[in-house]
Amino acid sequence: MEEPIQNLAEAWLNQDQDDSTRKEIQDLVAGHNEVELEKRLRKRIAFGTAGLRAQMKAGNAYMNSYTVLQASQGLASYIHEQQDASRGLNERVKVVVGYDGRHQSEKFARLAAGAFVAKGLQVLWYGQLVHTPLVPFAVSHLKAAAGVMVTASHNPKDYNGYKVYWANGCQITAPHDTGISAAIDRETVIVSWDPTIGEHSPFVASIFDETVEAYHQSLQSLVLPISEGEKELFAYTPMHGVGLPYMRRTVELLGFELATMKMVEAQAHPDPEFPTVPFPNPEEHGALDLAIQEADKCECTIVLANDPDADRFSLAEKLRDGGWQQLTGNQIGMLFASYVLETYTGEKSKLVMLASTVSSRMLAIMAKKEGFLFKETLTGFKWLGNVAQTLKAEGYEPAYAYEEAIGFMFPTVVWDKDGIAAAAVFLAARQKWRQEGLTPWQKLQELYKAYGYFEDANTYFITPSPDVTEQVFKDIRASGPNGGVPEMIGKHKILRWRDLTVGFDSAGEDGKPDLPVDASAQMITCELKNVLFTARGSGTEPKIKLYIEGTGNSSAEAQQSANEVLQDLVWEWFKPEYGLKLAGS
């Protein structure tokens, strides 16, 4: 029998020492709003491979001071459990803490630091706004046991998150995610609500200056020296986030004059309200409009953008006809792959590049033709980073990994996506292509001629609830003959069916898939004659995402194939009765 909601509310009020969130629950209790109290208190915010991410509200289900403290204490306990018993009694285990410019990010980070100190850890503290990759960088550079970054990346302004990295500098995977989650469940009493511990504790060390300098040195070693000569102008936006100071330093280290970078002033500095964009994500339609306007004023032909925590990177180019082309994550990903390949000086058979299963197949074609190893992983840099490390341990040289959602990883810098490192590589590559008489867009056309034409029709549906998402996928699996999986999409025969939720692959040995199975995550991939597509439920947003890639003898033919399948899927799989909302509609 469920505990009465009034008891859960009373328990919350007995332990929450944050005046603002206490008042939220008090007001709901006074108003007898049991429906809202159920939403807020019945279920605890889930800790998974992405850590925590949710709207900032009072209650167990959301991001607030109490859930941050509970997560921090659980993480600290788990870290202690995992440490070698031979560690010296007086030697404190180290954990890195960073935060971005969102509402309450600094407050949550300070509370987390206090919890770590109270639980016997040493905190390596940035103490000012940093971009997310600096946390995993510091974990590796300073040999910490873990790292925490308080950020919600490109989510709306009322969200925040708590991202965890393990000692290898990668995002956590199993069994650490379930182990930390279980440890959090055991934390029922908060040991410290003091957000000022870092200001006077001997167990908090400032790492900003040393680590940021080391990070930028690693960026310099990532790219070939840029030759002397004129450096072309470009416009840059950090999308109201933290990227600007790190981008400025990067530009200087690459030998560019700061005047070469034309700032989008209205978006230049951290602002948690994100006032000029409905969604602070460079992928979203219209997000680069201000940057393009600035570029036109300054007669720039390139726009570069980071998301608010600067771990993602996007770009747009002004074409010769005067129109602007924003490149997709797959297109940028292939440009980077070509630069990495052309500048690689080692044994090509040892070179490895990776991409997630929802990213373009073009990288696999390049690898087969050029003689390096390509590795496919599940979605997310927790997989790309950890798989890359496994390959390195086997004697390979992982040099690059990407995901179509404008995430790009360069392992010599950090084992995670990094929008500043991506910008550095792009600026170096652009100068190289310029010497070849090519713009980035023209370089991409050369790659298409060499490896084939690939175009995507990626989109997403906003879904009313996780239950609806689950029902949609359940119905898809039973929409074929005799209640089985479908055999056709429109007029296209399904040549391969892979379902990583139930663990089936029609092309796999004994029907087993070639990638890990996760019953808690919805993910179906289908291969047609000229199209490959994946439908999956998002792990961090109320969305069903579609990744559709067509191939053909031209970009137009490839795009037409992808668009046709998108239309068929909207008609056959994602019907109006589910209450889904298609992006842009």
Could you write out the DSSP letters of every residue in 224-252?
PPPPSSPPPPEEEE-TTSS-HHHHHHHHH
Supply the pLDDT for residue 578. 92
Rounded to the nearest 5 percent, the helix, strand and coil shares of the chain are 40, 20, 40
Alpha-helix runs per DSSP H in 415-536? 419-435, 440-451, 466-477
Cβ atoms of 112 and 164 within 8 Å: the answer is no
Supply the pLDDT for residue 224. 78
Q: Give, for 314, the enclosing helix (H) or strand (E).
A: strand 313-318
The domains of the chain are located at 43-206, 214-451, 455-582
Supply the pLDDT for residue 584. 74
Q: Give, for 386, the enclosing helix (H) or strand (E).
A: helix 381-393
Supply the pLDDT for residue 174. 86
Supply the pLDDT for residue 246. 98
Supply the pLDDT for residue 1. 73
> How many angstroms separate the Cα of 449 from the Cα of each of 374, 452, 529, 531, 550?
20, 6, 20, 19, 15
> Token pair for residue 239?
């999308």
Distance between CA atoms of residues 374 and 361, nearest Å: 10
Catalytic residues: 153
Angle made by CA atoms 571, 573, 575, in degrees to the nearest 5 = 60
Decide yes or no: CATH 3.40.120.10 for domain 43-206.
yes
The single-letter DSSP state of residue 553 is: S
> Token pair for residue 396?
């390979």
Supply the pLDDT for residue 50. 74
- The DSSP bridge pattern shows strands 146-150 and 94-99 to be parallel
The CATH number given to 214-451 is 3.40.120.10
Matching fold, domains 214-451 and 455-582: no
Cβ atoms of 47 and 71 within 8 Å: the answer is yes
The single-letter DSSP state of residue 48 is: B
Cβ atoms of 94 and 145 within 8 Å: the answer is yes
> How many angstroms separate the Cα of 182 from the Cα of each of 75, 171, 231?
10, 18, 53
Supply the pLDDT for residue 87. 58
181 conformational bin, left if phi > 0, alpha if psi -120 to 50, beta if neither: alpha
Supply the pLDDT for residue 533. 96
- The DSSP bridge pattern shows strands 407-409 and 397-403 to be antiparallel
Instruction: Give the pLDDT of the chain (585 residues) as one tens digit per residue.
Output: 789 999 999 999 999 999 999 999 999 999 999 999 999 999 999 887 778 999 999 999 999 999 999 999 999 999 999 875 545 556 789 999 999 999 999 999 999 999 999 999 999 999 999 999 999 999 999 999 999 999 999 999 999 999 999 999 999 988 999 999 999 999 999 999 989 887 789 999 999 999 999 999 999 989 877 776 678 899 999 999 999 999 999 999 998 889 999 999 999 999 999 999 988 999 988 999 999 999 999 999 999 999 999 999 999 999 999 999 999 999 999 999 999 999 999 999 999 999 999 999 999 999 999 999 999 999 999 999 999 999 999 999 999 999 999 999 999 999 999 999 999 999 999 999 999 999 999 999 999 999 999 999 999 999 999 899 999 999 999 999 999 999 999 999 999 999 999 999 999 888 999 899 988 889 999 999 999 999 999 877 789 999 999 999 999 999 999 999 999 999 999 988 999 999 877
Decide yes or no: CATH 3.40.109.10 for domain 455-582.
no
Strands (E), 167-290: 204-206, 234-237, 261-263
Q: Which of 71, 65, 73 is nearest to 18 (CA)?
A: 65
Supply the pLDDT for residue 200. 82
- pTM attached to this predicted model: 0.94
